Chain A
Amino acid sequence: MKTVLLRRVLQSAVVLLAMSVLVFTGIFAVGNPVDVLVSPQADQAEIERITRQLGLDRPLWEQYGRFLSQALRGDLGQSFVHSTSALGLILERLPATLELAVVAMGLAVLVGIPLGLLAGLKPDSAAGRGVMAGSIVGFSLPTFWVGLMLILLFSVQLGWLPSNGRGQTVEVLGVPLSVLTADGWAHLALPALNLALFKISLVIRLTAAGTREALLQDYVKFARAKGLKPSRIVGVHVLKNILVPIVTVVGLEFGSVIAFAVVTETIYSWPGMGKLLIDSINLLDRPVVVAYLLVIVTMFVAINLLVDLAYSLLDPRVRLSDSPA
């Protein structure tokens, strides 16, 4: 167990290192940030001064070496545009993204499990068929277009909900949060729904398939024979058994929700780190792009590791084997 864990951590480190080389060298090849930063009137001396100041006149491997040694000390460089620490900029935006992702994931579970149970218990009823068909549509719809249509319907046509920003926030331990105010919830509703839609479909399908399988098992037949109420059979016996794979998937999907938040944040101008990434790519703000990608890849590697560990704890039949990070 310990050696396996150690190997997994090492492997994760290799993935991170490979990613940092790829991202750093790749981003180096695109555009010259000095062109964006200096005014058009700047003379050659001014351009050279800024190039030297940013360390862009050094050879590529030297820049990478300096970047890596600083990264290990938690310094991912200064933003070219904002002149502050790139990592600080990302961490400042992180709570907004996490808030959106948590609310979206909660929505997926709260909506997905009841609907999935309905479809699993009554697969041939009109409601059950409708839920399953709806989940297929939910899978096929491109997220960004749904986002636009939600704005068109709820913000433009009906005028019920705002279409951008976080609304009124309350600071908790120095972190601004929208979930504590009514205005914040109004701003959160559309982006969270947009981000959750795909995951709702996923949870519905998982729950429905799990329920249909569980209903055929002997323990359910036995519970029925004992004369237990149907609500107790479903609520206690079935739900408990189908929850393990759902918990795993919800955990694993949390990372992909954060990745997909890039799209949702751009549509709704939600000031999270996904929007920061897109803005930084357009402004050629290299350190911020590199920092974002490294932060999100690290989060991913950590989430995958944690889910694997949690899974082996939840289900004793699963042994932690030498599977990927």
Chain B
Amino acid sequence: MTDTPSFAALRAFARSHVATAALLLLLLLAFGAAFAPWLAPQNPYDLTQLDILDARLPPATESSADARQRYWLGTDEQGRDIGSAILYGLRTSIAVGLASTALALLIGVVVGLLAGYAGGRIDSLVMRIVDIQLSFPAILVALVLLAALGQGLGKIIAALVAVQWAYYARTTRSAALVERRKEYIEAARMQGLSAGRIVLGHLLPNCVPPVIVVAALQVAAAISLEATLSFLGLGLPITEPSLGLLIANGFQHLLSGRYWISFFPGLVLLLLIVCINLVADQLRDAFNPKLQRQ
């Protein structure tokens, strides 16, 4: 039968029913986010589609204009359908999480490979910077940067990249240090291959699996951090609301009992983060040959 490493990893992954269910739910959320403009009953940021008469309706209320249209998750103070706002917010949250992780991954892997392969002074300098940065909590680094840079989509991605790159650099570097001493690298050197070819063609592919697992966990951390910063009013501007900003908008209504404006976006954020964590956890086990029983 097919016994390629990736197929074996897939089988190892499917052994956990919880992780498989989480993966399916995650795919569903991603689908909802990707096709939000087609799936959502209204465009929540097109003011012509909002009806102020429908403001602050509790869940499952009918629209005042059209009795066939129901707001299943209620509306906010501008008569915006919370369900539609969640789909659009999910889109922003996932996009920011993925973009920042991809960019940080690229920077971190390149830096980590160079440090691990070059060794010596370059290595100790880079790792010193990484260690110092990782001794501060992510939220503090992000707060410093956003207080300095100001807010906006590009700036929050920059802050998230700055927070994350060090994890990848450290993981890649430690993998590179191990791989560098193995015979296949020695053999490649003996053949007279250039350093660039050895690093990119031979070292890189063998350092990737551990980094992928870290990246999967980091996407959840990035989404959570972005939501927290947006909640504090330091993240995304009001014109590009992510789930965190939706929750912040509902905060003022919480004390008067209008829970739905904050509650449902928070629930979706929670589902998203828990699912990513469960999938990433199982990925780590599946990629670890030591843990695989037969």
Residues of A whose CB lies within 8 Å of any CB of B are 15, 19, 22-23, 25-27, 29-31, 136-137, 139-145, 148-149, 151-152, 155-156, 163, 255-256, 259-260, 262-263, 266-267, 277-278, 281-282, 289, 293, 296-297, 300, 304, 323-325
Question: 12 other contacts beyond A29-B149, A140-B270, A144-B232, with CB at 8 A cut-off?
Answer: A25-B148, A29-B150, A144-B228, A144-B244, A149-B266, A156-B255, A259-B136, A259-B139, A277-B143, A297-B136, A324-B135, A325-B132
Q: Known contacts A140-B270, A152-B259, A263-B231: does B144 contact A19 (CB below 8 Å)?
A: yes
Q: List 16 A-B contacts (CB under 8 A).
A: A22-B148, A23-B144, A29-B148, A140-B273, A142-B266, A144-B227, A145-B262, A148-B266, A152-B259, A259-B136, A281-B234, A293-B143, A293-B144, A296-B140, A323-B131, A325-B132
Q: Which residues of B contact A282 (CB under 8 A)?
A: 233
Structural contact, B131 and A144, CB atoms closer than 8 A: no
Structural contact, B254 and A325, CB atoms closer than 8 A: no
Q: Which residues of A contact B135 (CB under 8 A)?
A: 300, 304, 324-325
- Complex CA–CA separation, A323 to B148 (angstroms): 28
B129 (CB) vs chain A CBs: closest residue? A324
Q: Which residues of B contact A277 (CB under 8 A)?
A: 143, 147
A316 to chain B, nearest CB (A): 24
Structural contact, A145 and B266, CB atoms closer than 8 A: yes
Chain B interface residue count, CB cutoff 8 Å, equals 38
Structural contact, A23 and B132, CB atoms closer than 8 A: no
Structural contact, A260 and B147, CB atoms closer than 8 A: no
Q: Which residues of A contact B143 (CB under 8 A)?
A: 259, 262, 277, 293
B269 interface contact, C-beta 8 A: yes
Q: Which residues of B contact A22 (CB under 8 A)?
A: 144, 148
A-B pairs under 8 A by CB, number: 117
Q: Known contacts A140-B270, A148-B254, A156-B254: does B147 contact A27 (CB below 8 Å)?
A: yes
B277 to chain A, nearest CB (A): 5
Q: Which residues of B contact A15 (CB under 8 A)?
A: 132
B274 interface contact, C-beta 8 A: yes
Structural contact, A142 and B233, CB atoms closer than 8 A: no
B224 interface contact, C-beta 8 A: yes
Residues of B whose CB lies within 8 Å of any CB of A are 128, 131-132, 135-137, 139-140, 143-145, 147-150, 220, 224, 227-228, 231-234, 244, 247, 251, 254-255, 257, 259, 262-263, 266, 269-270, 273-274, 277
Structural contact, B148 and A23, CB atoms closer than 8 A: yes
- Complex CA–CA separation, A142 to B244 (angstroms): 10
Structural contact, B147 and A281, CB atoms closer than 8 A: yes
Q: Which residues of B contact A141 (CB under 8 A)?
A: 270, 273
Structural contact, B232 and A266, CB atoms closer than 8 A: yes
Q: Which residues of A contact B273 (CB under 8 A)?
A: 140-142
Structural contact, B149 and A30, CB atoms closer than 8 A: yes
Q: Known contacts A155-B255, A325-B132: does B228 contact A143 (CB below 8 Å)?
A: yes
